[in-house]
Amino acid sequence: MSGEADHSTPRPAPDAQRTEVGRGVLRSGAAESSAQSGAQSSAAASAGKGMVLEAVGGRYRILLDAGQRITAFLRGRIKQEARTGDRVVAGDRVHVEPVDDDEGWVIESVMERERELIRAGPRGRRPRVVAANIDQVVVVMSAAEPPFQHEISDRFLVLAESCFIDPLLVINKMDLENGSSLVAPAVQMYREIGYPVVLCSAATGEGLDDLIRALEGRLSALVGPSGVGKSSLLNALDPSLELPTRTVSRRQGRGRHTTVAARLLILDTDIRIIDTPGFSEVTAWGIEPEDMDANFPEFRQVEGSCRFRRCSHVHEPDCAVKSALEAGAIPQERYESYRRLLEE
Ligand SMILES: Nc1nc2c(ncn2[C@@H]2O[C@H](COP(=O)(O)OP(=O)(O)O)[C@@H](O)[C@H]2O)c(=O)[nH]1
Ligand SMILES: [Mg+2]
Ligand SMILES: [Zn+2]
């Protein structure tokens, strides 16, 4: 994907998905905790493991496994290495220790990430880790206001696929007039591809039981364009959150709303969910053009039968993807999204 990705870095393999930076932390952290356990047994005894809820400036809100919520700073050395802000993100598992002389806590090390949600930076800037260790990417769209656009949901689905994280598609605002009929074709399309789809309304509570079932017991990240009702859905699931929701106004132009860092919310009923800042544009990172088809599950099923092994499914003869498209087995809309993302 050109524009955003002037990196020539190949896409990392699934098992090598974390950044080099991340590996550095792990190594220094591991070495340090073993040294610490010998030298400072009292500090080691009170050391804790926890999960990062939110990064705010140079400070991190952390939920300790023991249940306590604390605020911690990064150990100086880790901080020096952490130029980018990706060093510690919501969802990261960390080791913390109390600081001797005051009441504070310090992050001693960051554990190796199982998964990372990574997006491209704007205009070729370096990629950003949005959240760590999530089990599921929840792509929230609305049936109307703003209108459902498959171009947008496809971008977010590709983002999830490119990070090897299972997506769930949630279509909110089903209460709006003609909501069901407006999205029915898209819902059928995504379900046939195999994506789970939840239809709901934060306003009426319709479908929220399904949403709860899909979120329970997992760490999810909520993504989607602004205004589709992400904050409203979270409030509907847990009114004590009292998240601000946006009144859609014309004066509130695109770039106007302030960017907030991703934060992990702990809801009732064993739901942990990372709310990410509204993305008006999102681009997956590090997808080589010849690998774009891997992010479309329905293409993966047929592409092995293309005549050319590295078929782009655009100009080549005897292309199984184009045959499937003509036969109606691959939806036209999805092929359009594929072409559009390929050209970027
Ligand atoms: N009709 C209707 N409006 C909704 C629903 N959910 C959210 N909204 C409205 O949509 C606007 C944006 O909601 P918000 O939660 O701030 O969206 P976010 O930007 O995705 O977090 C607000 O005016 C909400 O009141 C819904 O299910 N139905
Ligand atoms: Mg919001
Ligand atoms: Zn092909």
| Average pLDDT, integer, range 195-213 | 98
Give residue 326 CA to ligand 3 midpoint distance, Å. Answer: 13
CB-count exposure of residue 68 (10 Å: 0-12, 13-18, 19+): exposed
| Average pLDDT, integer, range 273-290 | 84
What Cα–Cα distance (Å) separates residue 23 from each residue in 20, 54, 116, 222, 251? 5, 21, 13, 26, 44
Most confident of the ranges 8-22, 184-198, 279-293 = 184-198
pLDDT number for residue 174: 98
**Residue 166 three-state SS:** strand
125-134, 188-197, 278-287: segment of lowest average pLDDT = 278-287
Ligand 1 site residues, Cβ closer than 6 angstroms: 172-173, 175-176, 201-203, 226-232, 245-248, 278
Question: Can 19-110 and 130-275 be said to share one CATH topology?
Answer: no
State yes or no: pLDDT of 14 exceeds 70: no
**128-145 core/surface letters (b: 16 or more CB in 10 A; e: else):** bbbbbbbebbbbbbbbbe
Catalogue the E-assigned strands of 76-230. Answer: 93-98, 105-110, 116-119, 128-132, 136-142, 166-172, 197-199, 219-223
State yes or no: pLDDT of 3 exceeds 90: no
Please provide the DSSP assignment of 255-297 as one string.
GGSPP---EEEEETTTEEEEE-PPPSS--BSS--GGGGGGG-H
Single-letter amino acid, residue 204: T
Tokens of 54: 């939110």
Give residue 13 CA to ligand 3 midpoint distance, Å. Answer: 22
* pLDDT range class, residue 125, cuts 50, 70, 90: confident
Q: Is 217 left (phi over 0), alpha (psi -120 to 50) or beta?
A: left
Ligand nearest to the CA of 176: 1
pLDDT number for residue 157: 97
Pocket test for ligand 1, best of 178, 206, 232 (most atoms within 8 A of CB): 232
- Helix (H) / strand (E) element for 161: namely helix 150-162
Helix 230-237, helix 208-215: angle, nearest 10: 90
Domain chopping of the chain, boundaries: 19-110, 130-275, 289-343
Give residue 231 CA to ligand 1 midpoint distance, Å. Answer: 7
**Atom 9 in ligand 1: which residue has the minimum CA distance?**
229
- Mean pLDDT, all residues of the chain: 82
Q: What is the CATH number of domain 130-275?
A: 3.40.50.300
State yes or no: pLDDT of 34 exceeds 50: no
Give residue 147 CA to ligand 1 midpoint distance, Å. Answer: 13
204 Cα nearest atom in ligand 1? 27
CA distance between the termini of the chain: 5
Tokens of 205: 């509570």
pLDDT number for residue 46: 52
pLDDT number for residue 298: 96
3-state SS, one letter per residue, for 290-336: HHHHHHCHHHHCCHHHCCCCCCCCCCCCCCHHHHHHHCCCCCHHHHH
Interior CA angle at 226 toward 225 and 230, to 5°?
90
pLDDT number for residue 24: 30
**Atom 14 in ligand 1: which residue has the minimum CA distance?**
229
CB-count exposure of residue 238 (10 Å: 0-12, 13-18, 19+): middle
pLDDT number for residue 277: 77
Ligand nearest to the CA of 312: 3
Give residue 285 CA to ligand 3 midpoint distance, Å. Answer: 23
In angstroms, the CA 46 to CA 155 distance is: 45
pLDDT number for residue 12: 43
Give residue 57 CA to ligand 2 midpoint distance, Å. Answer: 20
Q: Which residues surround ligand 3, an ion (CB under 5 A)?
A: 306, 311, 313, 319, 321
pTM as predicted: 0.84
**Residue 157 three-state SS:** helix
Give residue 293 CA to ligand 3 midpoint distance, Å. Answer: 9
pLDDT number for residue 230: 94
pLDDT number for residue 247: 65
* pLDDT range class, residue 55, cuts 50, 70, 90: confident
Percent of the chain's residues with pLDDT above 70: 77
* pLDDT range class, residue 283, cuts 50, 70, 90: confident
Q: What is the CATH number of domain 19-110?
A: 2.40.50.140
Q: What is the CATH number of domain 289-343?
A: 1.10.40.50
Per-residue pLDDT tens for 300-329?
A: 989 889 999 999 999 999 999 999 999 999
In angstroms, the CA 284 to CA 206 distance is: 32
State yes or no: pLDDT of 250 exceeds 50: no
Partner residues linked to 166 by β-bridges? 136
With tokens 């220790």, the residue in question is 97
**Atom 28 in ligand 1: which residue has the minimum CA distance?**
173
pLDDT number for residue 15: 40
**Residue 122 three-state SS:** helix
* pLDDT range class, residue 32, cuts 50, 70, 90: very low
pLDDT number for residue 75: 80
Pocket test for ligand 1, best of 140, 210, 238, 246 (most atoms within 8 A of CB): 246
Most confident of the ranges 265-274, 280-289, 292-301 = 292-301
